[in-house]
Structure 1
Amino acid sequence: MKTNKKETMHIHIVQHETFEAPGAYLEWAEQRNYSVSFSKVYEGQALPSTVEHIDLLLVMGGPQSPDTALAECPHFDSQAEQVLILKCIHAGKAVIGVCLGAQLIGAALGAVFEHSPEKEIGVFPIKLTEQGLRDEKIHHFGSSLAVGHWHSDMPGLTESSKILATSAGCPRQIVAYTDLVYGFQCHMELTPKVVELLIAAEEDFPRRSTHQFVQKPEVIRQHDFSEMNNKLFRFLDHLTNAYLKSSH
């Protein structure tokens, strides 16, 4: 008797800091009764030694960058995470990188991350490119969608990668590296709880308060994240279905 793989989907989450929580990604997995495991590296938890039982690897954000050395941040091993990402890609797994995670995907594939033209903190619209509007997994986002942001860098591009969405402050908001590997510079996983964690950890609000793409905490708190979260859920369902089809 065959096991229904959809019922046994396993998501592994690499989390770099308490305040860079998976938010709506975790809610999606729990709603669908998928199993979830973590490498909370800020607590000293190890990365997986094998990718055999991983169906979807989710690499979260953080204040680090792909070139952050172990001497600067002992709990963040950029090279080890890039090796894990490559293992998953080569094994045909689905991979999503968020913010730092997106930059790590690019770096693992040989692309150099760059500083974004503008820092973005808050909720601002992204616009889908022509390639984004043709992408079956995200075209339901529509031509424009208000999403969360909390970054100053952006992922590098490979020769085969496709920019699916941009914003006024950053030209690389969503990047498809393959049909199963996506980098999100934006934070569609934000929920009110995650926002409070990020606000509490952000030390630069007073200095950045006059920046055109940095909103004040009280403005960020006013946003309703439900539409953004629901559209993320639909993307994740599309990605999961594509993975299941490819793995048969």
Structure 2
Amino acid sequence: MLPVLIVQNDPQEGAGSLATLMAKRGLSQFIVQGFNAPYAELTPERFSALIILGGAQSAYETEAYPYLEREMALVTAFMSADKPIAGFCLGAQILAAALGGDVCAGAQKEIGWYDLTLRDEAADDPLLKGHPKTLLSYHFHGDVIRHIPNGIVLASSEMTPWQTFRHGQKAYGFQYHAEVNRSLLADMCRNNESYLAANGIDADALIVASQPHLADFEHHCAGILERWLDLFSIAEEVR
């Protein structure tokens, strides 16, 4: 099977539980750093799917981070090739921007544990079957998605309407961190200690406070991520 292309926007923050699930399936992972990826070589025919991860950048900061436009071009190419795409946090915003959506700074930062609530549109979505109507979920973002042409909102939080969305049948964006596990959460907090402190949050305290919520969160997110992997791994096995 072709490898899965993973674009990291922070060298210290990987794909968390999603990487673990791929490893269990024996799926190979081709990991690149967004700021220096060999974009000319990253053509869709070489990969089974595309994953874009989070980072401190903003999707609209293309002058400061011109490679973000290359990531958006990747999205366009994979969409045209009908290959599955998953974007997480910044990755979801990059996906949204590539689809002609509006990404901007939110009224307030959503960091920590907040309820994620499924919309009616999630009832027949293949990834979200069996997911609780409301799930306490992990968030770490200041920017938000306002609109995506032909995008379908699947889940929202009180602060962020576009928490989970789908475009077409194979492109999914997760504004919250559906890929987070214990080690990734700790890396994320310690990697952003000064940012958290500037927003009145102690990194170590957030790590400790997260422990009681992680098992249930990981369990339900694993179902979503497994079904996203099914979009291409089962299809490949059938061939």
TM range (shorter): 0.7 to 0.9
CA contact (8 A) 1:112 1:155 kept: yes
Q: Alpha-carbon deviations, 1:155-192, whole Å to 9, x = none?
A: 34323111111112211110111210000000021122
Q: From 197, 206, 216, give the equivalent of 2:197.
A: 206
Inter-partner Cα distance in structure 2 for 1:215 and 1:116: 25
1:223 to 191, 199, 212: 212
Q: 1:90 to 1:216 in 2, by over 3 A?
A: same
| Structure 2 CA distance for partners of 1:9 and 1:130, relative to 1, 3 Å | farther
2 CA distance for matches of 1:176 and 1:67?
20
Task: Calculate the TM-score normalised by the size of structure 2.
Answer: 0.87
Identity of aligned residues (%): 22
Equivalent of 2:42 in 44, 49, 66: 49
Q: Determine the structure 1 residue equivalent to 2:124.
A: 134
1:34 aligns with 2:23: no
Q: Find out whether 1:109 has 2:99 as its counterpart.
A: yes
Aligned to 1:96: 86
- Report how far residue 58 of structure 1 moved: 0.3
CA distance in 2, matches of 1:54, 1:230: 27
- Superposed displacement of residue 97, structure 1: 0.6
State which of 232, 235, 238 in structure 1 corresponds to 2:224: 235
Q: Check the 8 A contact 2:85/2:171 in 1, yes or no.
A: yes
Partner of 2:51: 58
Any conservation in 1 of the 2:5–2:51 contact (CA below 8 Å)?
yes
Give 3-state SS (helix, strand or coil) of 2:167's partner: strand
Compare the two structures and name the one with the higher helix fraction.
Answer: 2
TM-score, L = length of structure 1: 0.84
Question: Which is further off, 221-230 or 52-61?
Answer: 221-230
**What are the within-5 Å matches in structure 2 for residues 59-74 of structure 1?**
59-70=52-63, 72-73=64-65
1:56-114 Cα distance to aligned partner (Å, 9 max, x none) = 200001111122235x34xx601111111110011010000111111111111111212
Instruction: Give the Cα–Cα distance (whole angstroms) in 2 for the partners of residues 241 and 201 of structure 1.
Output: 32
1:189-218 per-position Cα deviation (integer Å, ceiling 9, x unaligned): 1122112211122213334227xxx99425
Number of paired residues? Answer: 234
Taking the aligned partners of 2:209 and 2:50, their CA distance within structure 1 comes to 28
Shift in Å, 1:144: 0.8
The unaligned stretches of length 5 or more in structure 1 are 1-7
153-162 or 31-40, which deviates more: 153-162
Q: Distance in 2 between matches of 1:146 and 1:17?
A: 25
Q: What is the CA RMSD across the aligned residues, in angstroms?
A: 2.4
Q: 1:117-161 CA distances to partner (integer Å, 9 max, x unpaired)?
A: 331111222000111233121132210112211001123432311
**SS of 2:130 mapped into structure 1:** helix
Contact 1:121 1:215 in 2 (8 A): no
* Mapped partners of 1:107, 1:38: distance in 2: 22
- Alpha-carbon distance in structure 2 between the residues aligned to 1:33 and 1:118: 40
